[in-house]
Amino acid sequence: MVNIKDLTDEEELALLEEGIKTRFWAYIAAKSTHLYFTTTGVVLQQKSEHREWLAGKASGIKTVTTMPEERIRLLKTKISQKKSE
């Protein structure tokens, strides 16, 4: 198991870049994206008192699916700033 606190920014970046290129991540991202769109569609069909909870679920699914790419961008910026100091 990887201890996130022990990783340098460069190690985390390499791990994420390697991970998003795998078939496993492509599968997870595709399933999550499908689930996100399905949940979003359901939200639009629900009564207003149920929408907030389902919208939160859809938002959470999207956050998890896009996290690696967003973290990669953040790490690249952070590493670039360190190098320019």
Higher pLDDT, 42 or 22: 22
Q: For residues 79 and 77, what is the distance between their CA atoms, to the nearest angstrom?
A: 6
The arithmetic mean of pLDDT across residues 11-36, rounded, is 93
pLDDT at 69 over 90: yes
Note the pLDDT of residue 26: 94
Dihedral sign (CA 41, 60, 74, 31): negative
Say if CB 12 and CB 75 are below 8 A apart: yes
pLDDT confidence bin for 22, thresholds 50/70/90: very high
Distances (CA, A) of 47 to 10, 13, 50, 61, 81: 47, 42, 6, 21, 48
Where are the chain's structural domains? Answer: 47-80
